[in-house]
Amino acid sequence: MRLLRDGGSLAALIFPDPASRVAQLKLALKFFFIMLLLFGLNSIIFLDNSYTLEIFTGMVIILMLYGFVSCDTTNIVAGMLLWTLTILASYQAWHSNGLYGTAIIIFPSLLIFANIFAGKLLAYSLISYMLLLFYFFAYAEHSGFIASSIKDSGSIFKKANNLSFMLLMSGLGIGLATRNAKLLIGNLIHNIKKNDDIQLAVNKLVLFDNLTGLPNEIECNKHVIRRVANSHEDNNVFAFIILELTNFEWIYASLGQTIADRIICYLADRLEILHTDHSRLYRSSNNEFIYLIEASDYDEISEYCQQLIQAIARPFPVESFDIEMTSAIGVSILPFDGDNYQKLKQKAHAALTQAKNSRPNSFKFFESEMEASISKRVKMVQELKKAIALQEFELYYQAKVAMADQSVVGAEALIRWHKPGAGIVSPLDFIPIAEESGLINEIGKWALEQACLDCQHWHTLGLGNLSVAVNLSPLQFQRGNLPSIVLRALHNSKLAPSFLELEITESLFIDDSDFIKEQVSQLSTKGVDIAIDDFGTGYSNLNYLTKFHARTLKVDMSFIKDMQQSTQKENLVAAIIKLSAMMALENTAEGIEDHATYMKLRDMKCQYGQGYYWSRPISNKDFIARVKHWDVNDFPKK
Ligand code: C2E
Ligand code: MG
Ligand code: MG
């Protein structure tokens, strides 16, 4: 389009590349050279050598121009060529019948060449010259300077007029045709460019993550294919690293998408800083990045993984928060762990799962045993789904006892899975997998509903003072609808909220988010009690106890069990009990197995206890029978 506005030649538009323009001009020079040669031969054979010298001069000039043509001289050469040919034709016409000569027939074709190779300026100057030439010839003939063989001097000016008119018409036609051709080609170029832009935009959408601008998995796959193809040429260790932000779901659910997106962008920047010439970074999903790295040995990869984890662990200042991200990394190696993208990814994922299960912020290289463990987990998820559909779960109850008089005040609901062919499966074996797969939401909902129904049933049996405690997984808070699930369970069972206690763990408070705080506070406002389970094993941040309206602290079993052997543990238990009293919280000791521990805790003013000393977790039917015949004298006194 710019060339059109500049009045550039058609050739410049058709061949924007100067080298191809030179080639075209050289072709034209060759063409004219051959034409002159043929004309010269014709002159020698049929016309008594009358124009041989002029034709020879023309050919020499063309040869010189041929040698002179270059990217910078195309316009000059085209101009000189056309002027040479025009003057040669004029010369020939002067010597043979002027306006009646044959040479001037070439003029329109010279105008065509001018339009194609040199542009408007040359075409205008040539046509002006040609028109002047017609009238000059007419005048010359009229005055007898040209000895024309055609004796018609009276109408010679009429002839010049006619020729001028025809030349102008041809020139106009050529000009219009050239202009239209230029417009057409300009539009074509414009459309091609537009298509290229669209293609680029589509590629960007398909191949790049639109939040961080990092290439995505498709690009990653392409790189692995190229790397696999060249692997025989390389002695480097090629590592496929999957990096997962393990607490991202939490951040997303509790702080919202905008902040989560900002963290991802900051993080991508941080990760890119660690980028070297030998590594490539991709964003493969919401909370997952892939690194491909060429290293000299495994130690270098380990060091790199360590750097990645440290970079992520540094807090991200977002608005008024300092957000800490946790991550896990799984690594697979080409070609030992796989020779294609799918296999490398699958093995890196297996290693990632192991890393996630070991401790926060760790990395693992793939080992063959990992695959077996993964397939075991996948199988268990299928079995758990079946267990939900076939109602293979049962709640067992463990009595909660008042330390002062050993009376039963309630029970903790502890889930059991009657797995066909495997007997009773402990929650310790399946709850983590239920959490990993998201099935905990359904299982947890069922446990809540069942516990409320059972507790209400106890009341109808005359055990009206008993409350029930239900364990909650932190993941049950993620959807934000836990309060409505709890309230529906209470409503359907007609159990008063004060008889329900919800056990949450300290891990729920890792991030001080309003999202979770609001749900807990909604529940306690409705009269449901909140107990902090396994107190002392997690973050033990006292601040959250008041913030989250907790009513009870459950001292973790690990302190109670070792109390007899360790004065340090004993002091710690005493301190927790004192602390809870100071904060107006109730306390329950878990895992009391013998009389001595019971007596010690009672002396420490511990209020409630649970443990095998009084009762193991038992089925609802057994629990009812047990409570009905509860007798403190049944328990050993030493
Ligand atoms: P937890 O809530 O801390 O439950 C106490 C665990 O200690 C229970 O194990 C109980 O059987 C055991 N226990 C109680 N007294 C004694 C004792 O004197 N000695 C010994 N050695 N152990 C004692 P269980 O039933 O295997 O449950 C393990 C964990 O599984 C629970 O720990 C709880 O975190 C989780 N869990 C159980 N049921 C559910 C559930 O319905 N939902 C969720 N999310 N988690 C559950
Ligand atoms: Mg518990
Ligand atoms: Mg516990």
How far is the centre of ligand 1, averaged over its atoms, from the C-alpha of 414 (Å)? Answer: 6
Q: Is the CB of 119 under 6 A from ligand 1?
A: no
Q: Is the CB of 444 under 6 A from ligand 1?
A: yes
Amino acid (1-letter code) at residue 92: Q
Computed over every residue of the chain, the mean pLDDT equals 87
Q: Return the residue whose CA atom lies nearest to atom 25 of ligand 1.
A: 414
> What are the CA-CA distances from residue 171 to residues 11, 108, 175, 532, 598 (Å)?
18, 7, 6, 96, 116
Express each pLDDT in 58-101 by its tens digit: 899 999 999 888 888 888 888 898 898 899 888 888 877 777 77
Q: Whose CA is nearest to atom 33 of ligand 1?
A: 471
Residue 372 has pLDDT above 80, yes or no: no
Task: Calculate the alpha carbon distances from 484 to 258, 448, 492, 501 in Å.
Answer: 26, 12, 12, 16
The CA angle 251-257-262, to the nearest 5 degrees, is 80
Of 154 and 493, the one with more pLDDT: 493
Nearest to 505 by CA among 451, 468, 550: 550
How many Cβ atoms from other residues are within 10 Å of residue 541's Cβ?
Answer: 12
Give the single-character DSSP code of 540. Answer: -
Cα atoms in the 13 Å half-sphere on the side-chain side of 332: 27
pLDDT at 374 over 50: yes
- Probe ligand 1: pick from 393, 412, 414, 450, max atoms within 8 Å of CB? 414
Q: What is the spatial distance between Cα 609 and Cα 282, in angstroms, rounded to a whole number?
A: 53
At 344, is the secondary structure helix, strand, or coil?
helix
DSSP one-letter string for 235-273:
-SEEEEEEEEETTHHHHHHHH-HHHHHHHHHHHHHHHHH
Backbone φ, ψ for residue 397 (5° rounding): -125, 135
Q: Is the CB of 536 under 6 A from ligand 1?
A: no
Summarize the confidence of residues 279-286 as an average pLDDT. Answer: 90
**Is the model more confident about 229 or about 424?**
424
The vertex-388 CA angle with 385 and 392, nearest 5°, equals 120
Atom of ligand 1 nearest to the CA of 556: 3
The CA distance from 69 to 446, in Å, is 88
471 Cβ closer than 6 Å to some ligand 1 atom: yes
Model pLDDT, residue 153: 54
**C-beta 271 within 6 A of ligand 1:** no
How many degrees, rounded to 5, is the angle at CA 448 between CA 410 and CA 509?
90
Is residue 418 within 8 Å of 394, Cβ to Cβ?
yes
154: pLDDT confidence band, cut at 50, 70 and 90?
A: low
Give, for ligand 1, the residue of 471, 508, 553, 554 to mutate: max count of ligand atoms closer than 8 Å to Cβ: 471
Position 513 scores a pLDDT of 66
Give the distance from CA 99 to its chain's centroid: 76
Q: How far apart (Å, rounded) are the C-alpha atoms in residues 440 and 433?
A: 8
What single DSSP character describes residue 115? I
Lowest mean pLDDT among 4-8, 322-326, 429-433: 4-8
Beta-bridge partners for 244: 288, 328
Cβ of 507 less than 6 Å from ligand 1: no
CB of 611 closer than 6 angstroms to any ligand 1 atom:
yes
Residue closest by Cα to atom 11 of ligand 1: 617
Structure confidence at residue 456 (pLDDT) = 97
pLDDT in tens, 561-589: 888 888 888 998 999 999 899 889 999 99
Q: Is the peptide bond before 335 cis (omega within 30 degrees of 0)?
A: yes
Q: In what helix (H) or strand (E) does residue 46 lie, and over which residues does it extend?
A: helix 18-46
- Which ligand number lies closest to the CA of residue 531? 2
Quote the tokens at residue 359.
């401790």
Rounded distance from Cα 243 to ligand 1 centre (Å): 33
Which whole number is the average pLDDT over 186-206? 79
The three-state secondary structure class of 293 is: strand
Distance 428 CA to ligand 1 centre (A): 8
End-to-end Cα, the chain, rounded Å: 101
* Dihedrals phi, psi of 419, to nearest 5 degrees: -85, 125
Q: Which ligand 1 atom is at minimum distance from the Cα of 534?
A: 3
Cα–Cα nearest to 400, from 632, 589, 537, 550: 589
CA angle 433/439/440 to nearest 5° reads: 80
- Residues with Cβ within 8 Å of 611's Cβ and at least 6 positions away in sequence, in order, are 560, 589, 590, 591, 592, 593, 597, 598
Ligand 1 midpoint to CA 412 (Å)? 9
pLDDT at 2 over 50: no
Which ligand 1 atom is nearest residue 473's CA?
44
Bridge partner list, 285: 288
Helices within 96-155 (DSSP H only): 106-113, 120-142
User: Is the distance from the beta carbon of residue 414 to the nearest atom of ligand 1 less than 6 Å?
Assistant: yes
pLDDT of residue 56: 86
In the reported structure, the alpha carbon of residue 591 is separated from the centroid of ligand 1 by a whole-number distance in angstroms of: 10
Beta-bridge partners for 208: 215
Q: Supply the pLDDT for residue 117.
A: 76
Closest CA to 97 of 152, 47, 165, 56: 152
Residue nearest to atom 43 of ligand 1 (CA): 471
Find the DSSP H helices in 143-155: none
pLDDT value at 488 more than 80: yes
**Which has the closest alpha carbon to 290: 279, 277, 301?**
279
In sequence order, what E strands does 584-638 have? 586-589, 608-609, 618-619
- List, in sequence order, the alpha helices (H) in 208-229: 217-229
Ligand 2 center from residue 382 Cα (angstroms): 26
Inter-residue contact 160 to 100 (CB < 8 Å): no
- The C-alpha atoms of residue 586 and residue 576 are separated, in whole angstroms, by 11
Instruction: Pick the range with the lowest mean pLDDT from 4-8, 149-153, 446-450, 529-533.
Output: 4-8
Give percent above pLDDT 90 in the chain: 43
Q: Is 476 in the pocket of ligand 1 (CB under 6 A)?
A: no
User: If you ran DSSP here, which 8-state letter would residue 399 be given?
Assistant: E
Atom 19 of ligand 1: nearest residue by CA position: 591
84: closest CA among 66, 98, 102? 66
Segment (H or E) for 378: helix 368-389
With bands split at pLDDT 50, 70 and 90, how would you rate the model's confidence at 466?
Answer: very high
Give SS3 for 632: helix
Ligand 1 pocket residue status of 447, Cβ below 6 Å: yes
In a 10 Å sphere around its CB, with 0-12 CB exposed, 13-18 middle and 19+ buried, how is residue 205 labelled? exposed
Distance 486 CA to ligand 1 centre (A): 21
Which is the closest atom of ligand 1 to the Cα of 435?
Answer: 44
Whole-number pLDDT of residue 7: 47
Closest atom, ligand 1, to C-alpha of 472 = 44
